[in-house]
Amino acid sequence: MGAFKIFSAEFKASCGTVEQFLKPTLPEVAIVGRSNVGKSSAINCLVNHKGLAKVGKTPGKTQTINFFEIATNGPRFMLVDLPGYGFAKVPERIRELWGPLIEEFLRTRKNLQGVVVLVDSRRVQESDRAMVEWLMRLKIPVMVVATKADKVTRGNRQAALRELREGLGMEEDPLFLSAYTGEGKQMLLDQLRELLTLDAPLP
């Protein structure tokens, strides 16, 4: 089996309410992380499209659930960008709207194949652990990806992995990813393919 490749990514919808969610027609993979984890850069790196997800100077810019249709050399799927969490500068009233929106999405999307949780490779926050634990309670497959890998020297990798595992309460190592150098991109793509081929009936 050859390497998994993404050929194109097309923005489909931006949803601020449950009623706006797209009708589930394709397998979906959601991506979530703290507002300052580099989520937009990671998405753009993954799909080879520098301007697909908007990279803002102020973390927390994504305030809706955004759907992107992805064409690959394997299964076509929907990449779903969830609002970032845990950043203090986002107004409380906005955060209060995000919570129920994200929860409804995660609880009700029967075609959701899994969630990619982005964490900063240099530190784990309590909100990261809470997100991973919540997804596990919902019995949703989780793939943890440590961003900004270029900020961690090779000599510090093992110590960083140990801290990430312990901080998140995981047994498996997260995958390092650098949107700047492309490190870890192909490995993440190949793991995405495995996630997309899990047996999960569409509605």
Angle at the Cα of 193 (from 178 to 189), degrees rounded to 5? 15
Q: Both tokens of residue 2? A: 């050859």
Q: Which amino acid is at 32?
A: V
Average pLDDT over residues 15-29: 93
Per-residue pLDDT at 74: 92
Residues 6+ apart with CB under 8 A from 133: 169
**How far is residue 11's CA from residue 149's CA, in Å, rounded to a whole number?**
27
Q: Which pTM value belongs to this model?
A: 0.88
Q: Higher model confidence: residue 142 or residue 52? A: 142
Average pLDDT over residues 94-111: 79
Per-residue pLDDT at 51: 63
Beta bridge partners of 28: 78, 112
Average pLDDT over residues 108-114: 94
**How far is residue 96's CA from residue 76's CA, in Å, rounded to a whole number?**
33
**How far is residue 35's CA from residue 60's CA, in Å, rounded to a whole number?**
5
Per-residue pLDDT at 98: 61
Q: Above 80 in pLDDT, residue 173?
A: yes
What average pLDDT does the chain have? 86
Return the number of other C-beta atoms located less than 10 Å from residue 107's C-beta: 10
**How far is residue 178's CA from residue 193's CA, in Å, rounded to a whole number?**
19
**How far is residue 108's CA from residue 203's CA, in Å, rounded to a whole number?**
11
Per-residue pLDDT at 202: 43
Residue pair 67/78 in contact (Cβ under 8 Å)? The answer is: yes
